[in-house]
Amino acid sequence: MEKEILEHGLGMNRRKFLSRLSLGVGSAALGSLLIPDLFSGGKPNEDAIMDALPHFAPKAKRVIYLFQNGAPSQLESFDYKPLLRANMGMELPASIRGEQRLTGMTSGQDSFPLVGSYYDFEQYGQSRAWISSLFPHTASVVDDLCIVKSMHTEAINHDPALTFFQTGAQVGNRPSMGSWLSYGLGSENSNLPAFCVLLSRGKGNGQGVYSKLWSNGFLDATHQGVQFSNSEDPVLYLKDPESMSRAERRKMLDHLAEMNELNFNEFNDPEISAKVAQYEMAFRMQTAVPEITDVSKEPDSIVKLYGPECLVPGTYAANCLLARKLSENGVRFVQLYHQGWDQHGNLPNEMALQAKDVDQASAALITDLKQRGLLDETLVIWGGEFGRTNYCQGQIQADNYGRDHHPRAFSIWMAGGGVKSGIVYGETDEFGYNIVENPVHVHDFQATVLHLLGIDHEKLNFKHLGRRYRLTDVSGHVVKDILV
C-alpha cells in the first residue's frame, strides 16, 4: 500500500517511468547520430597535439639532459648540512626517518649513524649557493643555475626510479620524455632525429642503462631516441654498404619508396610511411652526422673549456661537446647518461672521481651555450634518479663511508631555457632527510620541462589500448616559482 501512495504522490509508476525513459533513450540514439565516432575512436592525434601547444612563444626550444645515473649524493654536492658533520656517528632520530621504506641493502642494519660530508662546502656567486669542493667548475657558473634541493620521487631502486624519471612510470613500455617532445614538437632539423642519446661511464660503482629508457613506447617509431656510439660509426648502419655508391643508394631508395607506396595505398598502414620517412632521414643523416661529429672545426679554446678529455671519444666531456653540437643543429632533446654514481661504499673516493668526470664539462656546456647566445633557448638539466641517505651504509670511518638510496629529498640543477638563473629552490630539514619547503615531485619536474617548451602536460596525450596516456600520468604541477 505504501508503494501505491508514493506512486500516486509522484504521479508516476514503473510502467510510466519506463515508457517515458524510452523517450530519453530514443533521443539518446538521435543524439548519437550527430556524433559519428561517439562509440569508436577519438579525435585525430594532430588535433590533440595542437591543443597541447602554446599560444605564446615558448622559452626553450631544446633540452640537453645530463643524467647522472646511479644517483649522486646531494649531501656531497649541493645540499649543505653542517649538522651531519657535527653529529657524525650519532643515531638518525626515528622521528626524522618516519615510515620511510628502505632498500634491502640497509633495512637489516640495526643502527643508522649520521655521516657528514667528507668534502667542504662554500658559498658562491651572487646567489650565495652552497656547493661542495668537488664541483669547482659548476660553482663558477652558479649564477646561471637554478638548483632545486627539494626533488622527491617514489621509487627506491635504480631501474624503476630511472624509468620513472624518463617515462613518468616505474614500469617500462611508456614513451620517454624525449619521445614525447619529438611527438609534440617534431624535429627542428629534418636531417637529424629529434631525440638523440649519448652514453658514458665513470669509474664509480655503476648501474645499467637500457634502451627502454629512450624507447618510443606506444608512440610512432620515428620518435625513438637514436643512440650515438663512440666508435668509428657514431650512428650504426648509416654508411653506404660496401661497393655501393651514394647515387646507387639514392636510386635504390627511390624504388623502395615506390614499392612501399603501392603497399601503403593497399593497406593504409601508417607504419609503412613511417618506415619510408626513416629511410629518407637516414640518407640525409649520411651527410648531416659527419658534419656534426667532426670536432676539427672547433676552435682550440673549446678544448680548454671542456677539458682535454673532450677529445677522447666516449667520455662524458666528449659527449657534452657532442651534445652541444647536436643541440645547436636543431636536435630537440639530447639525453646523456653518465654511469657510476652508486656509492653504497667508498663514497669519498668514488664521488671525487665521478665529480672530476663531469664537473668541468657540465659547466663548460653552460658557458659554451651562453657565449653563442643559445643558453636562453636551451634548457640544460643535471641530476640523478634519487638521492642518498644521510646515514652511513656499512662501516663508518672518518674518511670512508657509503650512503644508501634516498627518495625523499635530493638535488638537481637546471639552467637556461626560461628557468630563473642564480636561485636555489626548496629546502630540506637540517638532517637533509625530509623536505621542509617547496617539494618538487618527478611529475612536477616533467610538467615544468614540458611547460618550458610550451607544452601543456595535461593535454599532450596519446590514446593507447583504450585510455589516454601522458608523460605525467595523472599528476604533476608546473613549478611556477622557478620560471622566468
Partner 1 sequence: MMSSKRFRGIFENLLFVWLGLSVVLLLGGQNLVLPNWLQIIGRSHPLLLHFPIVLILFGVLFQWIPGIDNNADLKNFGELSLLVGVNFAGLTVIAGLILAQEDYSGNTFDLHQYSGFGVFILGALFYFFRNLPKTYLKATSLVLAIGITFTGHWGANLTHGEDFLLAPILQEEVPTLAINDAQVFEDVVMPILETKCVGCHKEGKIKGKLRLDHITGIQTGGKTGPFVVAGNLDESLMVQRINLPLEHDDHMPPKNKAQLTDEEKKILVNWVLAGAEFDKKLIEMEPESEFFKLASLNFDESDNYNFEEADPSTVEELNNFFRKVEPLYPGSPALVVSYFGIAAFDPSSLNELDKIRTQVVQLNLNKMPLAGTDLSILQNFINLEELQASFTDLDSEQILSISQIPSLKDLSISGNKLSEKSLDYLSGMSDLRNLYLWETGLSDDQQKQLSSTLKYTNVEFGFDSKKVVYELNPPLLKSEKDMFGDSTLLEINHPIPSVEIRYTLDGSEPDSINSLKYEAPFWVKKTAEIKARAFADDWKGSPEASTLVFKAGNPPKELKLLTQPNAIYFGKGNLTLIDQIKGKPNHTSGEWLGYQDNHAEFVITLAENQKPKEITISLLYNEGAYIFPPTQVEIWQGDGSNWNKVIDEKPLQPKNIQPTRFEALTYGLPETDFDQIRVRLKRIASLPPWHPGAGSKGWVFLDEVSLLE
- Residues numbered 48-87 forming contacts with partner 1, rule: CB under 8 A: 50, 53-58
Residue list 21-50, contact with partner 1 (CB under 8 A): 21, 23-28, 30-32, 34-38, 42-43, 50
Residues of this chain, 367-386, that bind partner 1 according to CB under 8 A: 367-368, 370-374
CB of 366 to partner 1, least distance (A): 10
Shortest separation between residue 459's beta carbon and partner 1, angstroms: 10
| Residue 474 touching partner 1 (CB under 8 A) | no
Contact between 330 and partner 1 by CB under 8 A: the answer reads: yes
Q: Is the dihedral of CA 134, 484, 440, 383 positive or negative?
A: negative
247 binds partner 1 (CB under 8 A): no
CB 176 → partner 1: shortest distance, Å?
A: 23
Q: Name which of 108 and 373 has its Cβ closer to partner 1.
A: 373
Round to whole Å and give the CA distance between 484 and 424.
Answer: 14
Is 104 a residue that touches partner 1 (CB under 8 A)?
A: no
Out of 307, 416, 418, 426, name the contact with partner 1 by CB under 8 A.
307
Q: Which is nearer to partner 1, 114 or 181 (CB)?
A: 181
- The three-state secondary structure class of 362 is helix
Q: What minimum distance in Å lies between the beta carbon of 114 and partner 1?
A: 23
CB 181 within 8 A of CB 333: yes
CB closer to partner 1 out of 35 and 94: 35
Could you tell me which of 431, 439, 423, 433 has the C-alpha nearest to residue 484? 423
Pairing of strands 400-406, 410-415: unpaired
Q: How far is the CB of 38 from partner 1 (least distance, A)?
A: 4
Residue 242 near partner 1 by CB under 8 A:
no
Comparison of 92 and 334: residue with beta carbon closer to partner 1 = 334
The residue behind cell 629512450 is 214
| Nine cell digits for residue 4 | 501505491
Within residues 171-230, the interface with partner 1 by CB under 8 A covers 188-192
Instruction: List binders of partner 1 among 416-445 (CB under 8 A).
Output: 422-424
Binding to partner 1 by CB under 8 A, coded x per residue (else -) over 257-286, reads ---------------------------x--
HSE at residue 251, side-chain half, CA atoms within 13 A, is 5
Which of 20, 239, 251, 255 is the binder for partner 1 (CB under 8 A)?
20
CA distances from 269 to 41, 49, 276 (A): 17, 21, 12
Give the CA-trace dihedral at 282, 283, 288, 292, to 10 degrees.
50
Q: Which of 340, 323, 341 is nearest to 332 (CA)?
A: 323
Contact with partner 1 (CB under 8 A) among 2, 254, 266, 300 = 300
Residue selected from 299, 399, 465, 480 as contacting partner 1 according to rule CB under 8 A: 299
- Beta-carbon count within 10 A of 439 CB: 18
Establish if 465 lies at the interface with partner 1 (CB under 8 A).
no
User: φ and ψ at 352, to 5 degrees?
Assistant: -65, -40
In the complex with partner 1, the residue whose CB is nearer, 38 or 171, is: 38
- Nearest alpha-carbon partner for 107 in 475, 393, 445: 393
- Asked if residue 329 lies in contact with residue 285, where contact means CB atoms within 8 angstroms, the answer is no
- Per CB under 8 A, which region of 104-112, 124-132, 228-236, 271-279 contacts partner 1? 124-132
Q: Minimum CB separation from partner 1 for residue 135, in Å? A: 17
The answer to whether 63 touches 377, Cβ cutoff 8 Å, is: no
Q: What single-letter DSSP state applies at residue 297?
A: T
Instruction: Check: CB of residue 358 under 8 Å from CB of residue 323.
Output: no
Alpha-carbon span 459 to 46, nearest angstrom: 12
Residue of 100, 287, 395, 397 that binds partner 1 (CB under 8 A): 287
Rounded to a whole number of angstroms, the CA Rg of the chain reads 27
| 311 scored as a contact of partner 1 (CB under 8 A) | yes
Q: Whats the size of the chain, residue-wise?
A: 484
Q: Does the protein bind partner 1 through residue 246 (CB under 8 A)?
A: no
In this chain, which of 257, 277, 282, 295 binds partner 1, going by CB under 8 A?
Answer: 295
Within 129-158, the residues that bind partner 1 by CB under 8 A are: 143
Nearer to partner 1, 54 or 98 (CB): 54
How many residues touch partner 1 (CB under 8 A)?
71
Interface residue with partner 1 among 308, 436, 437, 475 (CB under 8 A) is: 308
CA 218 to CA 130: how far, in whole Å?
42
Instruction: Give 321 or 381: the residue with its C-beta nearer to partner 1.
Output: 321
Q: Which of 72, 454, 457, 478 binds partner 1 (CB under 8 A)?
A: 454
Contacting residues for 53 by C-beta, under 8 A, at least 6 apart: 184, 185, 454, 455, 456
**Cα–Cα distance list, 353 to 357, 391, 396 (Å):** 6, 22, 20
